[in-house]
Amino acid sequence: MIRMRRKILWASCFCFASAFFLVLTLQVITELGNSENKVSVISSVHSSPLKPGERHDFHFKKQELHSSFKTESDVNHYPVLLWWSPLTGETRRFSQCGEDICFFTINKTYQHNEMTRAFLFYGTDFSIDSLPLPRKEYHDWALFHEESPKNNYKLFHEASITLFNHTATFSRHSHLPLTTQYLEGVEVLKSLRFMIPLQMKNSLRKRLAPVVYVQSDCNPPSDRDSYVRELMCHIEVDSYGECLHNRDLPQHLRNPSAMDDGNFLKILAQYKFILAFENAICEDYITEKLWRPLKLGVVPVYFGSPSIVDWLPSNKSAILVSSFSHPRDLARYIKTLDTNDEEYESYLQWKLKGDISNPRLLRAMKERKWGVQDVTQDNYIDTFECMVCNRVWENIRRKEKGWLPQRWEAQVNHLSCPKPEAFWFSSSNPGWISLQKMWIPSFEQSKKEAWALRHLVEKNKNFTAEEFWMLVFKE
């Protein structure tokens, strides 16, 4: 497979304040690995553009760095896929995706190029400003968005998501589901590397709480801190992060990059329970918060995707916050397990036996075409690019044969993130205030933004940010 491997460094972050709300934008810097291969084409004949039959006249070979396409005219023979968000940072690259070759660029001058077939957007920095309009009927729009809605609520509504033909999101209903994006493989789940025997955990309990919480992104839309604050009234929780902090990490583990540090993981592994609370509640939005305790051999107490049981390694591998009507009841249950070794270990049997019984999880991991932190595999962005490239080519071939094009659209129900809700016992604490003052109004406004976006895109004319905001606030 002659694909480029790229390491993506989520590097800098800047804030953009609109009239009322904050939209966080992540700027992504792409780093080119040293060992990458560029595709080189040795071609004999170039004739009219996009003749799929002629693709076989080209020969590909791996070469060291910069020997790629030399002339601008090569571009005229391949579909151009234009990253409208400069996610990859690459101004020109030919990639081979199975049989198909596409030209990828972030160079916006290609908007009006006749070979341009798709615009690729990155959700977090999707901006209504200067969208590639007018959109031609052969201009596919593709969305890559692995983040929670917290980063860009307006894309999470039917009106906006269905503007896209191709999607890669955390949802299982996406064309390229990234649901397991934080899980390296099933082996890491089964691994006993960090697992601490229960007897030792029991003796560590003399100086540690039964439950640990580590969160430094406080008061997000899920209102998790309000829940944890209440939970803390009923059971001891060691909290090492900035949110509800009550216990210090060693100095060298106090920065966010230490979250994957072996020593930090060893500290977490000493606990019996880890609070695994997502920052937003969406179907299939599952992060390392769930997988980390499972890897470490600690029982996760999970709050997040309502259908999480669909993804758990076994029927008894996590405690779900949603099974309890009040944090008091959850605390009581945790205390029961804390004093009953057999009951507690029943949550770890799957791991001790190395037995992952969830067919959906196993299948997803087996069929996944991309890797996580794995240089031997394509990453999810490579795979996304190739999915769009293959689909674009499919329609080119259909056109050649005089067939109707294949139509693609994001599934309507695809991103299911209900309106954020504050916990009822939490009024007057900072979590509740964030919900009332920020996340709920932001969600409500995002519906208007989604509607305005759709309205303006359907007019298929260049529009300005002013026109957009006027429409949003007129509503």
Ligand X SMILES: *[C@@H]1O[C@H](CO)[C@@H](O)[C@H](O)[C@H]1NC(C)=O
Q: How far apart are CA 15 and CA 1, in angstroms?
A: 39
User: 287 near 182, Cβ under 8 Å?
Assistant: yes
Pattern 383-402, ligand X, x by CB under 6 A:
------------x-------
Nearer to ligand X, 232 or 456 (CB): 456
Are the beta carbons of 8 and 33 closer than 8 angstroms? no
Residue of the chain from 174, 305, 358, 445 that contacts ligand X (CB under 6 A): 358
Structural contact between residues 311 and 358, judged by C-beta atoms closer than 8 angstroms? yes
User: Counting contacts by CB under 6 A, is residue 71 touching ligand X?
Assistant: no
Query: Closer CB to ligand X, residue 176 or residue 235?
Result: 176
CB under 6 A: which stretch of 182-190, 212-220, 299-307, 407-415 binds ligand X? 407-415
Sign of CA dihedral 428, 429, 430, 434: negative
Rounded to an integer, what distance in angstroms lies between the CA atom of residue 292 and that of residue 288? 5
Long-range contacts of 360-368 (CB under 8 A, 24+ apart): 360/310, 360/311, 361/180, 361/186, 361/311, 361/312, 361/313, 362/186, 364/177, 364/179, 364/180, 364/311, 365/180, 365/183, 365/185, 365/186, 368/180
Q: Which stretch binds ligand X (CB under 6 A): 23-31, 104-112, 171-179, 329-337?
A: 104-112
By CB under 6 A, residue 354 contacts ligand X: no
Asked if residue 405 binds ligand X (CB under 6 A), the reply is yes
Three-class SS state of 331: helix
Asked if 107 touches ligand X (CB under 6 A), the answer is yes
* Residue 323 in the binding site for ligand X (CB under 6 A): no
Does position 407 interact with ligand X (CB under 6 A)? The reply is yes
Among 18, 43, 63, 91, binds ligand X (CB under 6 A): 91
Site for ligand X contains 216 (CB under 6 A): no
Among 47, 109, 199, 251, binds ligand X (CB under 6 A): 109
Shortest distance, position 106 Cβ to ligand X, whole Å = 8
Which has the closest alpha carbon to 419: 181, 223, 268?
223
Closest approach of Cβ 29 to ligand X, in Å? 16
Minimum distance of ligand X from residue 134's CB (angstroms): 7
160 near ligand X, rule: CB under 6 A: no
Q: Based on the number of CB atoms within 10 Å of its own CB, is 429 exposed (0-12), middle (13-18) or buried (19 or more)? A: middle
Q: Identify the three-state secondary structure at position 287.
A: coil
Name the minimum Å distance from CB 109 to ligand X.
4
Rounded to whole angstroms, how far apart are CA atoms 239 and 247? Answer: 6
Determine the interface stretch with ligand X among 11-19, 267-275, 372-380, 405-413 (rule: CB under 6 A).
405-413
Q: Least distance from C-beta 100 to ligand X, angstroms?
A: 15
Phi-psi region of 168 (alpha: psi -120 to 50; beta: other; left: phi over 0): beta
Task: Count residues near ligand X (CB under 6 A).
Answer: 18
Min. distance of Cβ 68 from ligand X in angstroms?
A: 14
Give the nearest distance from C-beta 462 to ligand X in angstroms: 4
Q: Can you tell me the distance from the alpha carbon of 252 to that of 232, in angstroms, rounded to the nearest whole number?
A: 27
Q: How far is the CB of 163 from ligand X (least distance, A)?
A: 6
Which part of the chain contacts ligand X (CB under 6 A), choosing from 31-39, 103-111, 271-279, 433-441? 103-111
Nearest to 88 by CA among 206, 190, 9: 9
263: phi then psi, degrees, rounded to nearest 5:
-70, -35
Minimum gap (Å) between residue 309 Cβ and ligand X: 7
Parallel, antiparallel or unpaired: strands 22-32 and 6-17: antiparallel
CB-nearer residue toward ligand X: 140 or 382 = 140
Query: Of 433, 472, 430, 432, nearest to 455 (Cα)?
Result: 472
DSSP 434: H
Q: What is the DSSP string of 213-262?
A: E---S-S-TT-HHHHHHHHTTTS-EEE-SSTT--SPPPGGG-SGGGGG-H
* Contacts to ligand X from residues 224-253, by CB under 6 A: none
Of the candidates 202, 314, 390, 429, which one interacts with ligand X according to CB under 6 A? 314
Among 85, 88, 124, 165, binds ligand X (CB under 6 A): 165
CB atoms within 10 A of CB 426: 18
Out of 18, 67, 216, 315, point to the residue binding ligand X (CB under 6 A).
Answer: 315
| Minimum distance of ligand X from residue 87's CB (angstroms) | 16
- Least separation in angstroms between residue 265's CB and ligand X is 25
409 binds ligand X (CB under 6 A): yes
Which positions touch ligand X (CB under 6 A)?
91, 107, 109-110, 130, 140, 165, 314-315, 357-358, 395, 405, 407-409, 462, 464
